[in-house]
Copies of this chain bind each other. A is one copy, B any other.
Amino acid sequence: MGEEPGGRRRSRRGREGVGQKRVTDYRRLTNPFRPQAVFSDDRIAAIHDTALKVLEELGIKVLLPEARQRFTEAGALVDEDSQMVRIGRDIVGHALKSAPKSIHACAPSPERDLVYEEGALTFMSGAGAPNVSDRVEGRRPASLADFTSIAKISQHFDVMHTMTASVEPQDVANELRHYAMTKVQVETSDKLPFVYARGTPQVTEGFEMLQLAYGLSEETFRAEPHTYTVINTNSPRQLDIPMAQGIIDFAEWGQISIITPFCLAGAMAPITIAGALTLQHAEALAGITLAQIVRAGAPVLYGSFASSVDMKSGAPAFGTPEHFTSALGAGQLARHIGLPWRGGGGTASNAVDAQAANETQMAMWGAILGGCNMLVHAAGWIEGGLAVSLEKMIVDIEVLQMVAELCKPVPGDDDAIGFDAIAEVQPGGHFFSAAHTMSRYRTAFYEPLVADWSNFGNWTAAGSQTSPERATAIWREIVEGFTPPPVAAERQGVLDDYIARHTEAGGAPPVS
C-alpha cells in the first residue's frame, strides 16, 4: 500500500468539506501492493533459462513464411519442411534489450492516455466472447447491439481503462465485422481502442480507420501507440498465420501487441505451474522477439493466461489456487525480463452467482499481487470466456472501483488521527454529529455502485433483490441514457464513407 507521510493530505482538506460531493478519479492507478512471489529468484532464473533452451533446442512452429523469413534474417535456425524455428538465446537477449519497459499509449482523449510500466494498474472488460448474457434477453449469440452496450458500459466507468473486443457481433459478416467494431469504439468512447489481429488486410484497415477518425497523419500514428491487440500463441509451441501477421503489422506500425500464450496446465501446457509458466515464457519470448526483429523498440506486453483444467473433464478453471500462483509467477517472469505484463481475470461459472464473484476476485487478487499492469477480463467474463454478462460487468466493476480506492493514499496526519474528536465524544456517545465527522461525512467513504447495505427488513420490503437483479437496472440506465464523450460525439459518422466504400469492395475477410 502507498504510505502516507504525516500531514501530506492537509492541503486537500478544503476538498473534503461540508457541501462537497465526493469526486473520484480512477483513470490512472498505481498498484499499491508490493508484489508477492511464488518462486525463489533462482527458480525464476531457471524457468527463464529453460524457456531459452526450449526456443534454442526444440523451437517453435511458425506457420507464416514471412515470419520464418524474418527469424532467419535475425539468425534463427529455420527448417522450412517442419516450419520449426529455433531461436538462439542471443537473439532473444537482443530483443529483450530493445523492448520498451514503459509504454505510453495515446487515447483519443489525452486524459485517457495510459502508461504501461511496472506499478501501473489498468482494467478492461471480458473480451473475445461469442455470447452475451443478461437478465432482460437471456443468453444468446452476441450482436453488434450487445457489443455497443458493453462499449457504453466500459466507457461509462473510469475504472475501465481501455476499449476491447468484448463480444463477437455475430450478426455482422466476418469480412465486415472490423468496420462495425471500430465504428462503435470511435463513436462511443474516448479510451484506447482495440484492433483484432485477424490478418494484415483487417489490421491495415483498422489502422486506417483510426487515423481517419482522429485526424492523425500516418507519421503521427506510427510515432506512438494509438491502439493495441492481443496475440495468442497456439500452445504448445505454435504461432499461426494471423497471429504472426499481427505481431509483424503492429510492430511495424508501432502499435501495442500483447503476446499471450494460452497455457492451461495439464492440457496445452505441462501440468505443473512451473512447467506451464516455462512454456508460456518460451512462447511469449518468441513473439516478443519477432516484434523486436521487425522493429526494435516495438511496444509489447508480456501476456499470461496460465491456469489449470479439471483433469476429469478437461474443462478450464479460473480463479483457482493454480490460476493465482500462475499469476504471481508470471509477474516474477515479467519483472525478470523487465516488461509490463497482462494478467487475466475470469470464472468458469455459468451464472452471476457467488462462484462467479469468488473466482473472479481470486483471479483478480492473483494478478494484482503479481503486479500485473493490464488486467484483461476484469469485468463481465463468465463461462470461461464464452459469454460476457452485463450484470456481471456491474458487480465486477464494483470490486474494481473498491480496488481503485485502495490505490489512494489514506490520510494519516494528526488531524485524521483526531485526538480532539475522540475527546469530544463521551463514553456511550457517538460520532455522527462530531465536528470531525461533519466536515468529512459527504466524502469520507466509498459510495457503492450496486451493493445494498440496508437491513433485512428494508431489503425484503424493497423486493429482496439480489445484486445481479439490481445490476440490471444499473446497466440499462447506463446504456439507455448514454451520451458519448465529446471526442466520440464529434466523430459520429466520420467513418461512414470509408466503411461504405470498403463494404462495396467486399470488405476484408479474416486470414486463417
Flag if B355 contacts A395 (CB, 8 Å): yes
Expressed in whole angstroms, the Cα–Cα distance for A398 and B271 within the complex equals: 22
Flag if B321 contacts A446 (CB, 8 Å): yes
User: Which residues of B lie under 8 Å from residue A423 when comparing CB positions?
Assistant: 54, 57-58
User: Which residues of B lie under 8 Å from residue A320 when comparing CB positions?
Assistant: 402, 445-446, 448
Partner of A417, one of B50, B350, B427, B466: B50
A482 at the interface (CB under 8 A from B): no
A430 at the interface (CB under 8 A from B): yes
Flag if B355 contacts A451 (CB, 8 Å): yes
* Binary per-residue interface labels of chain A (312-329) against chain B in the complex, 1 for a CB within 8 Å, 0 otherwise: 011111011110110011
| Chain A stretch 235-252: residues in CB contact (< 8 A) with chain B | 236-238
User: Which residues of B lie under 8 Å from residue A365 when comparing CB positions?
Assistant: 365
Flag if B279 contacts A440 (CB, 8 Å): no
Flag if B417 contacts A278 (CB, 8 Å): yes
Partner of A387, one of B38, B272, B322, B456: B456
A453 and B310 in contact, given A274-B418, A350-B459, A464-B351 (Cβ under 8 angstroms)? yes
**In the complex, how many angstroms separate the beta carbon of A256 from the nearest chain B beta carbon?**
26
A484 at the interface (CB under 8 A from B): no
- Which residue among A406, A451, A468 has the maximum number of chain B CB atoms within 10 Å of its CB? A451
Expressed in whole angstroms, the Cα–Cα distance for A354 and B356 within the complex equals: 7
Which of A39-47, A65-73, A106-114, A163-171 faces chain B?
A39-47
User: Which residues of B lie under 8 Å from residue A200 when comparing CB positions?
Assistant: none
| Chain A stretch 6-56: residues in CB contact (< 8 A) with chain B | 6, 32-34, 36-40, 42-43, 46-47, 50, 53-54
Flag if A412 contacts B350 (CB, 8 Å): no
A117 at the interface (CB under 8 A from B): no
A271 and B440 in contact, given A358-B395, A361-B362, A395-B355 (Cβ under 8 angstroms)? yes
Flag if A348 contacts B451 (CB, 8 Å): yes
Flag if A456 contacts B383 (CB, 8 Å): yes
A361 and B359 in contact, given A273-B410, A325-B406, A412-B274 (Cβ under 8 angstroms)? no
Expressed in whole angstroms, the Cα–Cα distance for A58 and B429 within the complex equals: 14
User: Which residues of B lie under 8 Å from residue A314 when comparing CB positions?
Assistant: 432
Partner of A431, one of B5, B266, B427, B430: B266
Q: How many copies does the complex hold?
A: 2
**In the complex, how many angstroms separate the beta carbon of A269 from the nearest chain B beta carbon?**
6
Expressed in whole angstroms, the Cα–Cα distance for A321 and B359 within the complex equals: 19
Expressed in whole angstroms, the Cα–Cα distance for A456 and B46 within the complex equals: 40
A355 and B450 in contact, given A50-B419, A410-B273, A464-B350 (Cβ under 8 angstroms)? yes
Expressed in whole angstroms, the Cα–Cα distance for A14 and B328 within the complex equals: 27
A421 at the interface (CB under 8 A from B): yes
A80 at the interface (CB under 8 A from B): no
User: Which residues of B lie under 8 Å from residue A4 when comparing CB positions?
Assistant: 38-40, 43
Flag if A352 contacts B354 (CB, 8 Å): yes
A405 at the interface (CB under 8 A from B): yes
Partner of A428, one of B238, B266, B354: B238
**In the complex, how many angstroms separate the beta carbon of A309 from the nearest chain B beta carbon?**
8
A216 at the interface (CB under 8 A from B): no
User: Which residues of B lie under 8 Å from residue A310 when comparing CB positions?
Assistant: 445, 453
A437 and B387 in contact, given A46-B414, A427-B61 (Cβ under 8 angstroms)? no
Flag if A445 contacts B322 (CB, 8 Å): yes
A349 at the interface (CB under 8 A from B): yes
* Binary per-residue interface labels of chain A (260-304) against chain B in the complex, 1 for a CB within 8 Å, 0 otherwise: 000001111111111100110010000000000000000000000
**In the complex, how many angstroms separate the beta carbon of A286 from the nearest chain B beta carbon?**
11
A460 at the interface (CB under 8 A from B): yes
Flag if B422 contacts A279 (CB, 8 Å): yes
**In the complex, how many angstroms separate the beta carbon of A444 from the nearest chain B beta carbon?**
5
Flag if B275 contacts A416 (CB, 8 Å): yes
A444 and B356 in contact, given A40-B3, A325-B406 (Cβ under 8 angstroms)? no
Question: Beyond A278-B418, A350-B454: 19 further Cβ-contacts under 8 Å?
Answer: A1-B328, A3-B37, A38-B412, A46-B417, A54-B419, A60-B427, A270-B421, A270-B436, A271-B437, A278-B419, A321-B406, A324-B402, A325-B406, A349-B467, A350-B456, A356-B357, A358-B361, A361-B361, A362-B402
8 contacts between A and B (CB under 8 A): A4-B43, A33-B369, A34-B34, A53-B419, A58-B422, A238-B427, A314-B432, A354-B467
